[in-house]
């Protein structure tokens, strides 16, 4: 079943899809881009529920099987330093070691 998205969710997803491989943007930058500068946390909530994350849209060999892919791992907290991998950046709202490692792997690989 296809999820029904609000206008806000669609706007967030459209912006995030435009972030290039090896690129990054902050939650606040995404919020400002859609004209909602105070909505950084709401952007995070949208991305934590992303139905088109990497594993949902790629096969086990990394080939894209769904064009709706939303690279939510490219959106990072303000002040995050790319070289500091000691910070626990959640992936899809999860902070378990496997999810954090997956986010770092995706960012490193430019997926």
- Reading the chain (111 residues) residue by residue, the pLDDT tens digits are 567 899 999 999 999 999 999 888 999 999 999 999 999 999 999 999 999 999 999 999 999 999 999 999 999 888 775 556 556 788 888 888 888 888 888 888 888
**CATH number of the domain within which 41 lies:** 1.10.10.10
| Residue 103, domain extent | 7-109
22 domain residue, yes or no: yes
- The C-alpha atoms of residue 32 and residue 85 are separated, in whole angstroms, by 26
59 domain residue, yes or no: yes
* C-alpha distances out from residue 72 to 21, 66, 79, Å: 11, 15, 17
1 domain residue, yes or no: no
pTM value? 0.87
102 domain residue, yes or no: yes
Radius of gyration of the chain (CA): 13
Domain count, the chain: 1
68 domain residue, yes or no: yes
């Amino acid at each position: 079943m296809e999820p029904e998205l609000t206008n806000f969710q669609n706007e967030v997803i459209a912006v995030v899809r435009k972030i290039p491989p090896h690129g990054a943007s902050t939650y606040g930058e995404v919020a400002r881009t859609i004209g909602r500068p105070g909505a950084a946390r709401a952007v995070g909530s949208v991305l934590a529920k992303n139905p088109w994350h990497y594993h949902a849209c790629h096969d086990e060999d990394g080939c894209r099987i769904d064009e709706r892919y939303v690279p939510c791992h490219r959106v990072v907290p303000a002040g995050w330093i790319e070289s500091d991998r000691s910070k626990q950046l959640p992936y899809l709202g999860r902070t378990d070691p496997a999810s954090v490692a997956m986010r770092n792997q995706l960012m490193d690989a430019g997926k």
